[in-house]
Amino acid sequence: MKIVCYKDKILKAINSVVKGVATKTTMPILEGILIQTNDNEIKLTTYDLEIGIEYVMECEVKEQGSTVVNAIMFSEIIRKLPDTEIYISINDKNLLEIECEGSLYKLATMNPDEFPELPKIEIENSIEVDQNVLKNMIRKTIFAVSSEETRPIFTGCLFEIENNKLSLVAVDGFRLALRSIYLSKQTNNFSAVIPGKTLNEVNKIISDSFEPIKIGVAKNQALFEMDNCKVVTRILDGEFLNYKNVIPSNWETRIRVNKNSLQDSFERISLISASSIEKEKKYPVKVSVDIGKITISCTNQTGEAKEEIYISTEGKNIEAGFNPKYLNKKASDLTATYTVKFNSMGMYNSFMNSNRKRGWKPTNKSLICTYSFIK
């Protein structure tokens, strides 16, 4: 194998696939990148037996071949080389040679025949959305994916297509995040729970552009295809939360508040709530809604804090307690006007884009980002 490529192109490919390298494994081959040539292209592949990533790029191929090289060492060497042409080849001792200007590195390789094949997926259902849309949907829900392995199903995000609407739902026992859009093309109803780890990596790979990404689902695997890259992942088994029963249909109180004012208040209150002498105790932030204002307060051994913001209110006065780190996260993800709804079950808030008119029904041109805090 002998190839010539520019640093920026191969580094982009490496950065895309390195997310699929196994970090804790007894199989050294899974710590590598499979490099394969095909005419004037090379394909880089990584696979940790849960998520597999392939990236195809054009380059000058002088000799065909394939090999596996340690991903971390290979990527770090490429990253440190000058921004110019790089020559990569296999010598007669089966070492991978990397040449660039006055630099020469030789790395041990592994047998490419021992690298596990990515699952071959027979797509049963699929959808296509713009990459920037999916990126935004993942960003607005991934924070609520659980990290508790005791409930594996909640370590993933629900992809649900129903009546031509795509919804992403994540829940960790404290928060529920929901983001929905209407699809431009008719499609079947289906659902799948994608691991949060996979979505984090997909979110890093896709661009903030209008280029399409295809999402396909089979019996126990899912496929994300974009540009010259594809990601294969397993689907989580189990029954996901019936989120529609969690989000109430009726509201006792609704307020409209400036996002920056709300976030700044929560951040200042957090200075008190997070500074308790008794670290094992949790002191919630109390939110009180009265006519024309919202009061945010916290009291512990360190001291007391109270913030008042003048707002537009509808409905009953109400009091509720929340973990401030969750509220800080919500506000930091939003812009412009922040609309918050309360009822006896908890708190639900919906961000309205500046392009939206008043009202709560989603449209094709505007996205609703919804979160539910469950007591």
235 plus 137 within the same structural domain? yes
**How many domains does the chain contain in total?**
3
Same domain, 266 and 368: yes
Q: SS3 sequence, the chain? A: CEEEEEHHHHHHHHHHHHHHCCCCCCCHHHHEEEEEEECCEEEEEEECCCEEEEEEEECEEEECCEEEEEHHHHHHHHHHCCCCEEEEEECCCCCEEEEECCEEEEECEECHHHCCCCCCCCCCEEEEEEHHHHHHHHHCCHHHCCCCCCCHHHHEEEEEEECCEEEEEEECCCEEEEEEEECCCCCCCEEEEEEHHHHHHHHHHCCCCCCEEEEEECCCEEEEEECCEEEEEECCCCCCCCHHHHCCCCCCEEEEEEHHHHHHHHHHHHHHHCCCCCCCCCCCEEEEEECCEEEEEEECCCCEEEEEEECEEEECCEEEEECHHHHHHHHHCCCCEEEEEEECCEEEEEECCCCCCCCCCCECCECEEEEEEEC
Among 220, 244, 268, the domain-final residue is 244
Mean pLDDT by 10 residues, the chain (375 residues): 96 95 92 96 96 96 97 97 97 97 96 95 95 95 92 96 96 89 94 96 93 95 94 95 85 84 86 67 81 91 90 88 68 55 54 34 29 33
- Looking at the fold, whether 236 and 132 belong to one and the same domain comes out as yes
Q: Which of 211, 244, 277 is the last residue of a domain?
A: 244
Domain identity same for 259 and 309: yes
CA distance 141 to 241: 15
Query: Do 44 and 100 lie in a common domain?
Result: yes
- Shared-domain flag, residues 83 and 6: yes
Range(s) of the domain holding residue 162:
125-244
Q: Which domain-ending residue is among 228, 244, 260? A: 244
Residues 291, 358, single domain; the answer is yes
Amino acid letter for position 29: I
If asked whether residues 223 and 269 sit together in one domain, one would say no
CA separation for the pair 277, 279 (Å, rounded): 6
Question: What sign results for the dihedral spanned by CA atoms 279, 175, 348, 197?
Answer: positive
Q: What is the pLDDT of residue 96?
A: 98
Distances (CA, A) of 327 to 97, 264, 371: 52, 11, 10
pTM for the full predicted model = 0.82
* Residues 184 and 145 occupy one common structural domain: yes
- pLDDT of 368 reads 27
226 and 265 together in one domain: no
Residue 119 forms part of a structural domain: no
What confidence score (pLDDT) does residue 370 get? 33
On whether both 237 and 159 belong to a single domain, the answer is yes
pLDDT for position 303: 87
CA distances from 54 to 13, 159, 220 (A): 9, 22, 19
Q: What pLDDT was estimated at residue 350? A: 43
Does 120 fall in a domain? no
In this structure, the answer to whether residues 302 and 213 fall within a common structural domain is: no
**Which of 373, 375, 362 lies closest to 179 in space, CA to CA?**
362
The pLDDT value recorded for residue 354 is 32
Kindly report the CATH number assigned to the domain that includes residue 309.
3.10.150.10
Q: Report the alpha-carbon distance of residue 79 to residue 352 in Å, rounded.
A: 42
Predicted local distance difference test score (pLDDT) of residue 280: 55
